[in-house]
Amino acid sequence: MTDLLSWPWYVAGPLIGLTVPALLILGNKSFGISSSLRHICASCLPSGIPFFKYNWQKEIWNLVFVLGILIGGIISVTLLSSPQAVNVHPDLVQELAGYGITDYSNLVPVELMNWESLFTARGLIMMVGGGLLVGFGTRYAGGCTSGHSIMGIANLQLPSLIATVFFMIGGFIMANFILPLILSL
Amino acid sequence: MQKPTYNNADLEVRSLDTMCVNESALEHRWYHNLKYLTVGVFFGIVFIKAEVISWFRIQEMFRLQSFHMYGIIGSAILVAMASIFLIKKFRAKTIYGEEIVFHDKKFNKGQIYGGLIFGLGWALTGACPGPLFAQIGTGATAVAVTLLSAIAGTWIYGYFREKLPH
């Protein structure tokens, strides 16, 4: 009875993979989440930018889908047993402790991502800066982990494989070389 | 039934951006979208129960300290790949009887530059766009700032799009 609260990868991965045929069969929809950010721009602040001038109402399904993800989060923590302390590699625990990160009670590090830390250089870079990189990068790349890494590669698209390789390269660079500097701030 | 108002150039742009190009010729009432809500809810629950949305798990992945995330992404791709293969082989139809169509993606340099930029943001925030929504749902309300920032990032891309190398 060690870790029943956290699902193993071989349960979660296939379930996530099944989202692809589910969306296709339910209505011919290609799996992709970062597009939702574009639809929000198009619906709220198109500002005459050609990239945001399209019939976003036709893509409302995508916004409903991400709303579902948010509700899924609420259900998980309220109705299902809430996640326990994340059990990670001891090396990571040791490394993060060096930056004063010791609270594993939440899935996000509460010591880094909270409203107060927005007013620190570290928090501002991570939350605002990180968000900008995610939003800008996914659209520039034409998709994110769902659209490229799962849907794209599963449909044997070489551009998606290339994008995924660069997702990983960017992640390795940030996690190993840049993040330590930011966490030391 | 409404005729699609997009011209070919527009379709090109849209497929470039992995927008839904599989436009249904059918017009549905709003409540048909509830089925996507349901899929989203299940998806969000899996995210959380498997700690996919955990900043710590993402750090572990990029430090090669755990197989967890690689197993999830890898097995998700394999299951999706098998599903697409079967859909194509048996020419499966949607629940409305429409033919399921796939669109090829074209390579452009954005997948390299944008990919790198997203990768940096992924390791920094510990989240891709999907998990951002799930994280907020778990009560990490400050992540709403990250989400708004990501929306702003998308907007900035749209603004400078023509000036960026693709």
Exposed e or buried b for every residue in B117-137, given b needs 16+ CB within 10 A? bbbbbbbbbbbbbbbbbbbbb
CB B154, CB A126: distance < 8 Å: no
Pick from A18, A28, A139: which is nearest to B17 by CB?
A139
- Could you give the 3-state DSSP secondary structure of residue B45? helix
| pLDDT average, residue stretch A27-44 | 94
Residue where a domain stops, chosen among A57, A81, A105:
A81
pTM of this structure:
0.91
CA distance B87 to chain A (A): 8
Residue where a domain stops, chosen among A35, A66, A81:
A81
Amino acid B24: pLDDT: 58
B155 Cβ contact partners less than 8 Å away, ≥ 6 residues apart? A41, A45, A49, A52, A135
Amino acid B18: pLDDT: 43
Are the Cβ atoms of A128 and B140 closer than 8 angstroms?
A: no
What chain B residue is nearest to A172 in terms of C-alpha separation? B62
Q: Is residue A172 part of a domain?
A: yes
Q: Is residue A27 part of a domain?
A: yes
Q: Is residue A87 part of a domain?
A: no
**A155 near B CB under 8 A:** yes
Are the Cβ atoms of B116 and A166 closer than 8 angstroms?
A: yes
What is the span of the domain harbouring residue A173? Answer: 114-185
The verdict on A73 and A119 lying in the same domain is: no
Are the Cβ atoms of B49 and A7 closer than 8 angstroms?
A: yes
Q: Is residue A137 part of a domain?
A: yes
The verdict on A10 and A73 lying in the same domain is: yes
Residue where a domain stops, chosen among A59, A81, A103:
A81
ipTM of this complex: 0.94
Banded model confidence at residue A41, pLDDT cuts 50, 70, 90:
very high
Q: Is residue A49 part of a domain?
A: yes
Amino acid B26: pLDDT: 64
The verdict on A123 and A180 lying in the same domain is: yes
The verdict on A3 and A77 lying in the same domain is: yes
Are the Cβ atoms of B73 and A150 closer than 8 angstroms?
A: yes
Amino acid A130: pLDDT: 97
Q: Is residue A74 part of a domain?
A: yes
**What tokens appear for B9 in the block?**
């150039």
CA distance B11 to chain A (A): 11
Q: Is residue A98 part of a domain?
A: no
A8 Cβ contact partners less than 8 Å away, ≥ 6 residues apart? B50, B71
A24 Cβ contact partners less than 8 Å away, ≥ 6 residues apart? A30, B83, B84, B87, B92, B94, B100
| pLDDT average, residue stretch B54-61 | 96
Pick from B41, B111, B141: which is nearest to A166 by CB?
B111
Banded model confidence at residue A80, pLDDT cuts 50, 70, 90:
confident
d(CA B165, CA B17): 15
Q: Is residue A8 part of a domain?
A: yes
CA distance A126 to chain B (A): 6
State how many domains chain A has. 2
The verdict on A4 and A49 lying in the same domain is: yes
Instruction: Please state, in angstroms and as integers, the Cα–Cα distance from residue B90 to each residue in B45, B104, B154, following that order.
Output: 31, 19, 38
Banded model confidence at residue B129, pLDDT cuts 50, 70, 90:
very high
Are the Cβ atoms of B35 and A27 closer than 8 angstroms?
A: yes
Instruction: Please state, in angstroms and as integers, the Cα–Cα distance from residue B144 to each residue in A36, A127, B139, following that order.
Output: 15, 9, 10
Amino acid B2: pLDDT: 44
Banded model confidence at residue B89, pLDDT cuts 50, 70, 90:
very high
| pLDDT average, residue stretch B67-77 | 97
The verdict on A50 and A118 lying in the same domain is: no
d(CA B149, CA B127): 13
The verdict on A62 and A124 lying in the same domain is: no
- For an interface test with A, the pick among B98, B149, B154 (most A C-beta atoms closer than 10 Å) comes out as B154
Are the Cβ atoms of A71 and B37 closer than 8 angstroms?
A: yes
Q: Among A36, A105, A102, A146, which residue's Cα sits nearest to residue B122?
A: A146
The verdict on A65 and A123 lying in the same domain is: no
d(CA A108, CA B142): 10
Of the listed ranges A27-41, B6-20, B70-84, B99-113, the least confidently predicted one is B6-20
What percentage of chain B carries pLDDT values higher than 90? 79
Banded model confidence at residue B25, pLDDT cuts 50, 70, 90:
low
The verdict on A7 and A70 lying in the same domain is: yes
The verdict on A13 and A76 lying in the same domain is: yes
